[in-house]
Structure 1
Amino acid sequence: MGRVVLVHGIAQQTMGPETLVARWLPALRDGLALAGGSLSSGEVKMAFFGDIFRPSGTRNLGEPPLTAADVTDPLDQELLLNWWAEAARVDPGVSGPAATTRLRTPFVIQRALDALSHSRFFADLADQLLVGALRQVRRYLTESDIRQRVRQRVLDTLTEDTRLVVAHSLGSVVAYEALHEVGTAYPQALITLGSPLGIRGMIFDRLTPAPQAGAGRWPAQLRTWTNIADRGDVVALVKTLAPVFPGAITDVSVHNGAKAHDVRPYLTARETGAAVRAALDRLP
């Protein structure tokens, strides 16, 4: 049936649609239950695109692990430094880019990776995964073939039964762009979780369709759009989207604890459950 379509974010290349639904659905149901709602498994589908970023198997021992030396693209560097600055802002234990530290490395990129790996937000995440996450964002934004293939996965999952799209992280960018391509009256509701859509320069100004006069375009079929962000979410650098997407966005703040960007605390939040219930109750 697919009344609700879920769109995941970065670093899911070793997963699959069924695996991710199995992770997301209990959390989504918990949030809905807190808001007095319910949802069956048959009403939910995952728009999965992670495998597009999964390297093909080879006969050799694989590619060497990604390190700071691989962060050479200006977009990767800008995003990394923005994550670092935001992590320092929300986590007292993280020294910021301008702070004097005892780190011996002269490389700013390595300093950024070291700082993030010791922050509450990235919690001992290896450099390999951090650099890989940066690359996925950049490849989506700069490689037209990748971008279209990823968006097509969302378009292929949407049906006339779809009423609501719930999108997390980079998935919110994918969903936003895909909704402009649908060409139908559905889906009419969008919920974005931990979205980077409002980051000017890196994300916002690279959107398709392009913003006009500094304002993002509103997907024509949407009747409601709820944007939910944790104030400590480093990826969602801009927490409120209403000022940059003229329309009727409802910006909601939640508290996810230490895992500010993790999708499951977002889904278990009463605020998310209330937004899902309101969207489904309002639409036929």
Structure 2
Amino acid sequence: MARVVGVHGIGQQLLGEHQLGAAWAPALADGVTRAKGRLDPDDVGMAFYGDLFRPVGRALAVGDPRYTASDVEEGFEQDLLRAWWEEAARTDARIVGPDERTLLRTPTAVQAGLRVLSRLPYFADVALRAMVFDLKQVRRYLTEPGLRERVWERIDAAIGPDTRVLVAHSLGSVAAYEALWHRPDWPVTTLVTIGSPLAIPGLVFERLRPPPDVPDGTLPGTGRWPGNVRAWTNVSDEGDIVALVKDLKPRFGDRVRCHVVHNGSHAHDAKPYLSSQEVGRAVASGLGGAGD
């Protein structure tokens, strides 16, 4: 089994473990090389769960449902869209954020938010219906009974006795964090999260399983440490709107090593993260090679 296992993020439902592995393995190997270590791409495996979100096919229709702005539901989905929009405005002076009057409570405001995000490099090649589908994936994972446990099972199937490092991107970082806590018997000792939304207040953090520890009854509290992991490194790009909270230490403790990198125009893409020296150093260290 693989010594390093990757866990993908949102929007991968039309791919699979072999396609993703073919992209992730060389990128991770390059990152480890930057850290003056060595990683054989054959030592990298993928935990794939995207098909759990793929709609059941029917005659003459395959792929994502043809969502429109009107399909962005009130509550979680609109709140997440607004959070992404506000973060995009914070990191790019050219973008006008939502004002207090709209708050995405109307179809027109939702459409405007989707239109703004579609101009960002990460979403530039993403159709509107697919962007809405991404919002629904996050909401479904966090709220749909039994779904997150099925995702954990996919990660479990990829973990072997030799697996030491888990590298998880975007929504996959939430799944990996939760799965590690619920499976302390895994041999994984190093967690690397990239482009992670784990600490987003109100939307993600308080919905984690296990829930945050709130000793004084005052939210948001402190996140539990993930299982038997000895080292946790979180890497984010300043322009990554999905990773709204770059520093995880205030929520998960000072043991988390947090780094900010520059991924160029595609801030949330997995491959620039994977090939960075910071990720490579964390992976190499977890495997007992070069690193900090």
Task: Compute the TM-score of the two structures, normalised by the length of structure 2.
Answer: 0.91
**Structure 2 unpaired stretches of 5+:** 215-220
In the TM superposition, residue 246 of structure 1 has moved relative to its aligned partner by: 2.2
SS of equivalent to 1:144: coil
Separation of aligned partners in 1, 2:190 and 2:6: 12
SS of equivalent to 1:155: helix
Q: How many residue pairs get matched? A: 280
Segments ≥4 residues shifted beyond 6 Å: none
In the TM superposition, residue 20 of structure 1 has moved relative to its aligned partner by: 0.4
In the TM superposition, residue 45 of structure 1 has moved relative to its aligned partner by: 1.1
SS of equivalent to 2:259: strand
1:219 aligns with 2:220: no
Match of 1:234 among 216, 221, 241: 241
Query: Counterpart in 2 of 1:280?
Result: 287
In the TM superposition, residue 27 of structure 1 has moved relative to its aligned partner by: 1.0
1:94 aligns with 2:95: yes
Task: Compute the TM-score of the two structures, normalised by the length of structure 1.
Answer: 0.93
Separation of aligned partners in 2, 1:72 and 1:21: 33
Query: Counterpart in 2 of 1:252?
Result: 259
Report the CA distance shift for 1:35/1:212 in structure 2 as closer, same or farther (over 3 A). same
Percent identity of equivalent pairs: 49
In the TM superposition, residue 99 of structure 1 has moved relative to its aligned partner by: 9.3
| 2:280 alignment partner AA | G
SS of equivalent to 1:69: helix
| 1:209 alignment partner AA | P
Separation of aligned partners in 2, 1:181 and 1:61: 38
Cα RMSD (Å): 2.0
Query: Counterpart in 2 of 1:74?
Result: 75
In the TM superposition, residue 266 of structure 1 has moved relative to its aligned partner by: 0.3
Separation of aligned partners in 1, 2:95 and 2:44: 39
Query: Counterpart in 1 of 2:205?
Result: 204
- Check the 8 A contact 1:5/1:158 in 2, yes or no: yes
- Check the 8 A contact 2:26/2:41 in 1, yes or no: no
SS of equivalent to 2:258: strand
Separation of aligned partners in 2, 1:38 and 1:61: 44
| 1:54 alignment partner AA | R
In the TM superposition, residue 93 of structure 1 has moved relative to its aligned partner by: 2.3
1:4 aligns with 2:31: no
1:184 aligns with 2:185: yes
1:139 aligns with 2:146: no
- Check the 8 A contact 2:225/2:252 in 1, yes or no: yes
Report the CA distance shift for 1:121/1:95 in structure 2 as closer, same or farther (over 3 A). farther
**Structure 1 unpaired stretches of 5+:** none
In the TM superposition, residue 124 of structure 1 has moved relative to its aligned partner by: 4.9
Report the CA distance shift for 1:232/1:69 in structure 2 as closer, same or farther (over 3 A). same
Report the CA distance shift for 1:119/1:23 in structure 2 as closer, same or farther (over 3 A). same
Structure 1 segment 38-49 matched on structure 2, within 5 A: 38-49=38-49
- Check the 8 A contact 2:183/2:227 in 1, yes or no: no
| 1:93 alignment partner AA | R
